[in-house]
């Protein structure tokens, strides 16, 4: 399973008037998890861009289980999900460091746009090769 953990410290500006992290910031935490995954597994935005593609988000969701609070450190675990479609799908689990508490889970879908920003309907060869290189049989 292709997965990656990224540690993030909650900062003051992320905490709302209920003294919990404002829900919208979790979307940012997902992005930071995705970026850490890309760096670790050779699928960063810049690497994809150099192949001639953009990867805009087309779907996102988040289920909030238990709020994060000030001075918490969170760990976002980003797991890649295989799909035959021309999409990149990630699942996220956010936990509080040093505990088993799950604060949130979620997922995202991205599509490939080519250099003319047209939707690319088939899996780009570089991405097919990336799958093979990472032991994904499909």
Which residue ranges make up the site for a second copy (CB under 8 A)?
Answer: 9, 11-13, 15-20, 22-24, 27-28, 31-32, 35, 44-46, 54, 56-64, 67, 70-71
Q: 13 vs 137, which CB is nearer to a second copy? A: 13
At 95, list the tokens.
């936990």
Q: 61 vs 83, which CB is nearer to a second copy? A: 61
Q: 3 vs 35, which CB is nearer to a second copy? A: 35
Least Å distance, CB 81 to a second copy, is 17
Q: 23 vs 134, which CB is nearer to a second copy? A: 23
Residues in the chain: 138
Least Å distance, CB 41 to a second copy, is 16
Q: 59 vs 97, which CB is nearer to a second copy? A: 59
Q: Cα Rg for the chain, rounded, in angstroms?
A: 16
Name the DSSP letter for residue 105: E
Dihedral sign for Cα atoms in the order 62, 78, 31, 98: positive
Least Å distance, CB 104 to a second copy, is 10
Least Å distance, CB 119 to a second copy, is 11
C-alpha dist (Å) from residue 62 to 1, 25, 39, 106, 107: 21, 11, 23, 4, 7
At 92, list the tokens.
């996220």
Least Å distance, CB 135 to a second copy, is 27
- CA-angle at 51, arms to 45 and 57, nearest 5°: 40
């Amino acid at each position: 399973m292709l997965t990656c953990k990224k540690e993030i410290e909650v900062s003051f500006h992320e905490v709302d008037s209920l003294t919990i992290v404002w829900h919208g910031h979790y979307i940012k935490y997902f992005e930071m998890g995705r970026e850490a995954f890309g760096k670790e597994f050779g699928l960063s935005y810049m690497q994809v861009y150099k192949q001639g593609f953009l990867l805009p988000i087309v779907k996102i969701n988040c289920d909030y289980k238990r709020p994060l609070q000030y001075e918490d450190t969170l760990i976002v675990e980003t797991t890649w999900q295989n799909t035959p479609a021309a999409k990149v799908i990630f699942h996220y689990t956010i936990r509080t460091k040093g505990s088993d508490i799950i604060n949130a889970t979620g997922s995202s879908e991205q599509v490939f746009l080519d250099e003319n920003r047209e939707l690319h309907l088939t899996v780009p060869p570089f991405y097919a090769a990336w799958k093979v290189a990472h032991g994904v049989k499909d």
